[in-house]
Amino acid sequence: MNLEQARREVKKLHKIISQHNYQYYVLDDPEISDTEYDKLLKKLIEIEKDFPILITSNSPTQRVGATPLAEFKEVEHVVPMLSLANAFDKDEMIRFYERIARELNDKNLSFSGETKLDGLAVSIFYKNSILETASTRGDGFTGEDVTQNIRTISQIPLNLIGKSIPDNLEVRGEVFITHRGFVNLNNKQKKQDQKIFANPRNAAAGSLRQLDPKITSERPLSFCAYGIGDYKGSLQLTKHTQILNQLQHWGLPISSESKELKGLEMCLEYYNDITDKRSQLAYDIDGVVFKVNNIDQQKTLGFVSRSPRWAIAYKFLPSEEITQLIDIEVQVGRTGTITPVARLKPVNVAGAKINNATLHNLDEIKRKDIKIGDWVYIRRAGDVIPEVVRVIKEKRTNVKEFKMPNTCPICGSDIKRQEGKTAFICVGGLSCSAQKNQAILHFSSRKAMNIDGLGEKIVIQLTGGRMVNNIADLFSLEQKKLSKLDRMGDKSASKLIQAIKSCRSTTLARFIYALGIPEVGESTARALANHFHTLENIQESTIDKLESISDIGPIVAKNIQSFFSQKNNIKIIEKLLLAGINFNNRQLSNESSLDNLSFVITGSLESITREKSKEILLSLGAKVGSSISKNTNYLICGNNPGSKYEKAIQLNIKILDETSFLKILKKEGVTL
């Protein structure tokens, strides 16, 4: 066989294997046996072995093989992955339907009904029919790049099939593990003396977030598509059910339980039917999702906060059990939030042994009238998180009141209630060991001190090995010791030491933001720097002076003063300054023509990063948003701009290419 013959045979095998994957995973109707399928795959492997030049990233043989990652990269979602509002009973579902019907003036609305899979939401991006990138949902706006791991899931096609395939297609779906897969996985873990997973959801999430894709490939992950995000194609998609059918046509698995529903009664019947079938399904679900079917109606309804107004998750009622609340202790979260936790007599709830349950906050304890020694009903909220539902007061004897402690059980710093909020926090942010990993990660993040290479895995090793106890210790790290950490080596250690050295010259605004003062974000840190000019002035400022700044209210002002009143925090700041941190501040020009103008940046810029562009614009008094609206003044447009470009044209927003943007910066006296 010569090269040209091999090329034709490889192309033919790609097509045949993709079709059989579609028959097996999407249609659940295999046309050949597993043995015959294995023969086809083996034939392809042998040809690629003889002609390595024919191996492509989208070959069925290349699902596994990438080298392990040091850490996951961040991915910004072009279209935010929003969470759904919940309904927990029939009345809430009826109110949702009636509100939608009233706003749309349509009493017989069409909905798409779908099972709510209990897994991990992901975004998979296809360019010209080939799988290019994949990421987790994250916070809805930024997720983690899990492309290598997604490629190992056989149900997810590396190449889309069928007709009218769009140039750009972002598929939204859920990665999960079936009941059978979960049992087999735990049996395997047990035999190998490895960790036993608590439930299929945890197993799926843990498997997808492995840095080594070979480990992920050994886990029984499944996938189900439930929608799209970014889309550029000739095919007009007018209904959500049409989108699902089209995804299946392109080779992606969808739920066999999906159904188009007319009117409220059909929606309620569908919920009851799925409730009855729940125990017979091959996978875990925690409710039913209803989405307005008409895409134009979805656009009319729009969004509120982080949720679409045209969809709702109607959750199943959780099972409840009775046990005794033995004690209430407090836990210190990664950001200093103090959370009361109920210590319980062990009880089995929905198949899981429960020893502890969250009590959320002091107000919740008072609202439910919970006391130490009470007998209580426990349930798993969303079938996952244990919570105390209510007290059985008839059984109350010999109980005592819970009181929030005044000092942190970890570091001894003051515990203070955030004004106007339910939360109590430990104000020893820089010195509290419970917060140190988060404090270090925040301090070194891109928008703060920008210490490249200091990811979560490295930080855990540094703090676990007592090499770093607080952020100031970063500046006394030695390359020799760093190189001995897992997955570091001399080269990586040298780069990290250089990044730490380079970050010493920064701006006052970045430094203030890096300290992690509660509710002091980038804009507030910038306002503080522009107003007070020096760190000493900020430290010595009164609440009245802080409140005189337009961006700062009484709550944030008290947070700032509380932070700088803690001796432990001041000691660490002094160590940072002694380590050589200095501020090279660019003062805000009063004559900037960009003052209060609103910008959005999209696409990739060649001469300057988007993050640097944002920083410069903000220093010139401009505002930088993440989404286009009628209040946007300019869209800065780089390569591969995405949907923001089209929306800017629709709204008649002024569009600047990279050259025009750089000219504006030059006019403002900015040199790159």
d(CA 586, CA 568): 30
Instruction: Give the residue among 63, 74, 338, 115 at the shortest CA–CA distance from 244.
Output: 115
Q: What is the DSSP letter of 54?
A: G
* H/E segment holding residue 331: strand 320-332
Characterize the bridge pairing of strands 415-417 and 424-426.
Answer: antiparallel
Which of helix, strand or coil describes residue 272?
A: helix
Q: How many residues does the chain have?
A: 672
**Residue keyed to tokens 């993440």:** 626
Cβ burial of 276 (10 Å; 0-12, 13-18, 19+) is exposed
Residue from 11, 15, 116, 623 carrying the catalytic annotation: 116
Residue 195 token pair: 């960790």
Dihedral pair phi/psi, residue 483, rounded to 5°: -65, -15
| DSSP string over 620-665 | TT-EEESS--TT--EEEE-BS-THHHHHHHHTT-EEEEHHHHHHHH
Cβ burial of 11 (10 Å; 0-12, 13-18, 19+) is exposed
| Side chain identity, residue 486 | D
Active site residue 116: yes
Instruction: Give the residue among 589, 612, 585, 584 at the shortest CA–CA distance from 669.
Output: 589
Starting at the earlier edge strand, list the strands of the sheet with 120-127. Answer: 130-136, 120-127, 168-176, 222-232
**Between vectors from CA 173 to CA 126 and to CA 190, what angle results, nearest 5°?**
115
Do 302 and 309 form a contact (C-beta atoms < 8 A)?
A: yes
Q: Which residues are catalytic?
A: 116
